[in-house]
Amino acid sequence: MKELLIISGKGGTGKTSIAGSFAALAAPVVLVDCDVDAANLHLLLNPEIKEEHEFFGLPKATIDKDKCTGCNLCQELCHFDAISEGMVNPFLCEGCAFCFYICPEQAISLRDNVCGHWFISNTRYGPMVHAKLGIAEDNSGKLVAEVRKNAREAAKEKNLEIIITDGPPGIGCPVISSLSGIDLALIVTEPTLSGIHDLKRVVGLCKHFGVKTAVCINKYDLDEKNTRTIEEYCAEEDIQVVGKISFDPSVTKAMLNGRPVIELAQLNVSQQINAMYNLIYRQIST
């Protein structure tokens, strides 16, 4: 089983459009959306949900008004400013249970907390595991891990060799959780100063965790000078640039129709994505 993760550091570089196209090229394949905060891959793959599961976060504190004497000890001690006027703000409570232990009246209990849902679905390219984290919920790293565990099980069950994962943006907790055990992380960047800045930070993160990386420069022809800067940086860091994709409004048009751009086979961008996938496939399958 081989796991390919597509990440970007910076959002909006075209990561999901490329993941969707890879899904079409690799089919049958297991697909995963690890951007549990703001998932988009389903908009291209139109999954038919087969299973829905609850995801529990740490239980959150709740105050029993009848027992509370208003001593405010919990409010003083809560490091997350989650308690005021005898009420717990569930969006700020991190579930540490500190207040539960120290309340002199035992007026605080911990309540089960469904903080998201994850799904196993069918798509035209294979099974897809995806999730939706509740609004204002913590724990995205754990939900990412849960989603990935189920993707591996789906791959085993269906005897599929490749898992393609659309990763979250940034370099924080959910990204770290996406990286562990990955065979190759494809970093999709764009030729802008922001893109270059974020590329360097996400490369640093992959190095920190010892993950093998490759780079795709999307919309490379929007600024060829910045594209050269990225290529030089990658050469210095010994990272292969596996693809340079042209800027093409057809990618957006395909998205408006809810399809990966690769399905419009005649396009130049489709050929570029296809060539990039073949290169990556050879790398992860050897």
Partner 1 sequence: MKIAVSAEGQELNSPVNPRFGRCEYFVIYDQQTGSIEAIANPGTSGAGGAGIKTAQALANKKIDVVLVGNVGPNAVETLNAAKIDIYSGITGTVQESIDLYKKGALTKTNQPSVDSHFGLK
Partner 2 sequence: MIISVASGKGGTGKTTVSTSLALALDRIRPVLFLDCDVEEPNAHIFLKPAIATTEKVHRPIPMIDYDKCTYCQNCSDICAFNVLAVLEKTVLIFGELCHSCGSCWYQCPEKAITQTDKEIGLIESGKSQNMDFSNGKLNIGEAMSPPLIKAVKAKISPKKTTIIDAPPGTSCPVITSVKDTDFCILVTEPTPFGLNDLKLSVEMLREIGVPCGVIVNRADIGNDDVLRYCTRENIPLLMQIPFDRKIASLYAKGTPIVVEMPEYIEKFQNVYFEIERMVQS
| Site of interaction with partner 1 (CB under 8 A) | 57-58, 95, 139, 141-142, 145-146, 148-149, 152, 177, 180-181, 209
Name the segment binding partner 2 (CB under 8 A); options: 159-167, 236-244, 253-261, 264-272. 253-261
By CB under 8 A, residue 192 contacts partner 2:
yes
Q: Which is nearer to partner 1, 73 or 145 (CB)?
A: 145
Which residues within the stretch 112-151 sit at the binding site for partner 2 (CB under 8 A)? 133, 135-138, 140-141
**Helix axis angle, 15-26 relative to 268-285, nearest 10°?**
70
Distance of closest approach, residue 141 Cβ to partner 1, in angstroms: 8
By CB under 8 A, residue 194 contacts partner 2:
yes
Q: What percent helix, strand, coil does the chain show, rounded to 5? A: 40, 25, 35
> What whole-number distance in Å separates Cα of residue 73 and Cα of residue 99?
8
Distance of closest approach, residue 165 Cβ to partner 1, in angstroms: 11
Report cis status (omega within 30 of 0) of the bond before 127: no
Question: Which of partner 2, partner 1, none lies near 166, with the C-beta cut-off 5 to 8 A by kind?
Answer: none
- Mind giving me the DSSP string for 13-44? SSHHHHHHHHHHHH-S-EEEE---SS--THHH
Q: What is the dihedral of CA 248, 162, 164, 177, to 10 degrees?
A: -150
**Which pairs from 81-87 meet CB under 8 Å and 24+ separation?**
87/63
Q: What is the DSSP letter of 130?
A: E
Both tokens of residue 235? 């050469």
Question: Which of partner 2, partner 1, none lies near 205, with the C-beta cut-off 5 to 8 A by kind?
Answer: partner 2
Both tokens of residue 62? 């709740």
Which residues within the stretch 53-92 sit at the binding site for partner 2 (CB under 8 A)? 58, 77, 79-80, 91-92
Name the segment binding partner 2 (CB under 8 A); options: 47-55, 188-196, 232-240, 276-284. 188-196
The residue among 228, 237, 232 whose CA lies nearest residue 206 is 237
Beta carbons within 8 Å of 103's beta carbon, 6+ residues apart: 73, 74
Distance of closest approach, residue 129 Cβ to partner 2, in angstroms: 18
Name the segment binding partner 2 (CB under 8 A); options: 94-102, 234-242, 266-274, 278-286. 94-102
Q: What are phi and psi of 90, to 5 degrees?
A: -65, -20
- Tell me the per-residue interface mask from 209 to 248 with partner 2, x by CB under 8 A, - otherwise: x------------xx--x----------------------
**Contact residues: partner 2, CB under 8 A:** 8-13, 16, 37-38, 40, 43, 58, 77, 79-80, 91-92, 94-98, 101-102, 133, 135-138, 140-141, 168-174, 176, 190-194, 197-198, 201, 204-205, 208-209, 222-223, 226, 249, 252, 255-256, 258
